[in-house]
Amino acid sequence: MSDASWQIRPETPADDAAVEALNAASFGPGRFAKSAYRLREGVDPVAGLGFVATSGGQLLGSVRFWPIRVGGHEELLLGPLAVRGDQRGKGIGIALMQAGIDAAKLGPWRGILLVGDEPYYAKVGFSRLPPGRVRFAGPVDERRMLGLSLKGGEMLTVSGQIRRARIDDANCADSAGLG
């Protein structure tokens, strides 16, 4: 999706530095302490599910997805999702998520989890998970734990501890105790 002034396309390795800078500007250093971030620590994002919004070669927004394990299955964690401060409210965030969701539907995953504001993520189909069904290792407000089923209704029935899917960076092997 795009309008006349911006386009959505798959992320490439050349986008990495700009995406990292956008996430740092959008979330600040506090992002490293969040439970969702710790599930990403030492794990690479899912190749093929990262998308960027650009205009004239400039990065306006980015979404990435991480693999996680829930109840013995690999599923997806959405985020970080960020849109440059001066470009918000134009539909870029929704378009980025929709591109990622459409691509994820072609893969093996049953669903996508995230921690965020339900009124926003409901715009692309997320809804609150039943309380107590899935657990993060760290503190998370249950009202912000949302899920989206990619195939049928499976995401609403998943249960268990959410863990890191694997460890790609051996330096992080035991740093979060989530593996």
Ligand X SMILES: CC(C)(COP(=O)(O)OP(=O)(O)OC[C@H]1O[C@@H](n2cnc3c(N)ncnc32)[C@H](O)[C@@H]1OP(=O)(O)O)[C@@H](O)C(=O)NCCC(=O)NCCS
Positions in the binding site for ligand X (CB under 6 A)? 26, 79-83, 88-94, 116-117, 119-120
Please, which residue, 86 or 132, has the CB nearer to ligand X? 86
Of 70 and 115, which has the nearer Cβ to ligand X?
115
Smaller CB separation from ligand X, 72 or 139:
139
Asked if residue 80 lies in contact with residue 89, where contact means CB atoms within 8 angstroms, the answer is no
Cβ nearer to ligand X, comparing 31 with 71: 31
Contact 130, 145 (CB under 8 A): no
Residue 120 or 157 having the CB closest to ligand X: 120
Least distance to ligand X, CB of residue 90, Å: 5
Tokens of 78: 């959405």
Closest CB 137 distance from ligand X, rounded Å: 18
Minimum gap (Å) between residue 57 Cβ and ligand X: 19
- The residue with its CB nearest to ligand X is 93
For ligand X, give the closer residue by CB, 82 or 148: 82
Residue 26 CA to residue 48 CA, distance in Å, equals 23
Burial class (CB in 10 A: 0-12, 13-18, 19+), 77: buried
What minimum distance in Å lies between the beta carbon of 101 and ligand X? 13
Report the alpha-carbon distance of residue 80 to residue 64 in Å, rounded: 6
Closest CB 173 distance from ligand X, rounded Å: 26
Minimum separation from the CB atom of position 61 to ligand X (A):
6
